[in-house]
Amino acid sequence: MNVIEINENRCKGCGLCVGFCPKDVLEMRLPRAPQVIREDLCIGCKQCELKCPDFAITVEVKSHA
């Protein structure tokens, strides 16, 4: 399973990672930070990481083996 890490000190809660995720892995939860709710659905496309304007999210892609 891929490992998604969110740096809450950098995250501003814009929700872009949630919006750009093609697999609904993330969800906005109060107060503001996105939460990983279905890590197993992550396909490792890294759209959340690349499009986060605040360098607050990283995806470590693990092989399927």
Closer to another protein by CB, 20 or 41: give it.
Answer: 20
Site string for another protein, 14-33 (x = CB under 8 A): xxx-xxx-------------
- The pair phi, psi for residue 57, each rounded to 5°, is -135, 135
Confirm if 56 and 6 have CB atoms less than 8 A apart.
yes
Q: Which residues contact 21 (CB under 8 A, 6 or more apart)?
A: 47, 48
The verdict on 9 binding another protein (CB under 8 A) reads yes
The verdict on 54 binding another protein (CB under 8 A) reads yes
Distance CA 57, CA 5 (A): 6
The verdict on 38 binding another protein (CB under 8 A) reads no
Q: What residues line the site for another protein (CB under 8 A)?
A: 9-16, 18-20, 50-56
